[in-house]
Every structure is written in structure tokens, then in C-alpha cells.
Structure 1
């Protein structure tokens, strides 16, 4: 099924049990960013090595983060959504 057949909707990667939606609020340098998570927490998120050179992350990007279970104010970024995908998530009410 192509994008046009179902009204422009794409099947997007949704968060697993241990992941939450987040918006990048600040670039901290040294492969770290400040994110505002959907659960209301501000966290320092780490960009993993597998994403550093392949995926560019900028302020206001919508990402999936995996909060650390031993240190709740930190997280790892596991996915970045394209702008069109982020718009679709907002339209469908997954993120504000």
C-alpha cells in the first residue's frame, strides 16, 4: 500500500515499552542534547555512535528516547522522525 492510497498516512515507528517521545530543546555538544519528554521530564540525551555520522539531529526535532533506568534525568536517543512524520504524529495526537 503506497502513501497515497491511505490518505498520505505512513506507518511510523511507535515507542516500545521503555521508550518515550521527546522534542530536542538544546544542543549541548559532545554528542549530547537536551530533550523535553512526553512524560513531562527534561532529560540529557546521548546520541549513540551508530547515529552520529548518519543522522543529523537539530533543535525541535522529534525523537524517541530510552530513559536510563538507573538515572532518570538521562536517556539515549533511539530514533529520529523526519519533519513530515513529526507533523503526522502531531495530527494524530501522539505528541503535542
Structure 2
């Protein structure tokens, strides 16, 4: 039986839902708050890094991020979250990183 603490730990960070958000890996930082990312649906997108992340959280090549593709221009999107190493371990346990690893290599 799970305790309430287990459920709150699982909800500490946002998870991809496959429709409005996707797991992606940063391939290249392009400057001017832009990055090229490889997404779990097999597409490469040009994504914007919002100012709130640009100032507080450094992005680097190889980081796993959560991306929200734009409705009107699906080949672009916004980076809405960067996962830490602890969060990546939790995603690995849930099996969410398998498809991304298969696509990458």
C-alpha cells in the first residue's frame, strides 16, 4: 500500500502526456534563447527557452527537457521544464526514457 508521501513525490515534476508535451533532448544551442531539440516523436524542433529558465537554469547539450509544441507551427515549441538527474532516474524507473533512448541510438 502506498503512502501519501509517495504520491506527492511523483507529482513534484511535470510528466509528458504525449499530446501537448513531449520529452526531448537538446541537440544544439543556437543562441538568442533558441535550441534545437530531438523529441520522443522522432522530430527535430526549434524551441524557445523562456526568460524564466534562461536566467535561473543553465541549459546544455544533452539535457532532457519537456517541450510544448506550438499548435500553429508544430516544428517549433517552447521548453517548459528541464529535468535534474534525480528526476531522470525517476523517469527511467517509470520507463519513459526507453523510447527516447531507442530513437537516439
Shorter-chain TM-score range: 0.7 to 0.9
Aligned to 1:77: 79
Cα distance, 1:49 vs. partner? 1.3
Shift of residue 89, structure 1, vs aligned partner: 1.2
> Which is helix-richer, 1 or 2?
2
Show CA shifts across 1:70-92 (max 9, x none): 11111100111002211321232
Cα distance in structure 2, aligned partners of 1:36 and 1:76: 13
RMSD over aligned Cα, in angstroms? 1.5
How many residues are treated as equivalent by the alignment? 89
Instruction: Give the TM-score of the pair, scaled to structure 2.
Output: 0.76
Q: TM-score, normalised by structure 1?
A: 0.82
Q: Partner of 1:42 in structure 2? A: 44
Structure 1 residue runs of 4 or more that deviate by more than 2 Å after TM superposition = none
**Contact kept in structure 2, 1:22 and 1:37, CA below 8 Å:** yes
Unpaired runs of at least 5, structure 1: none
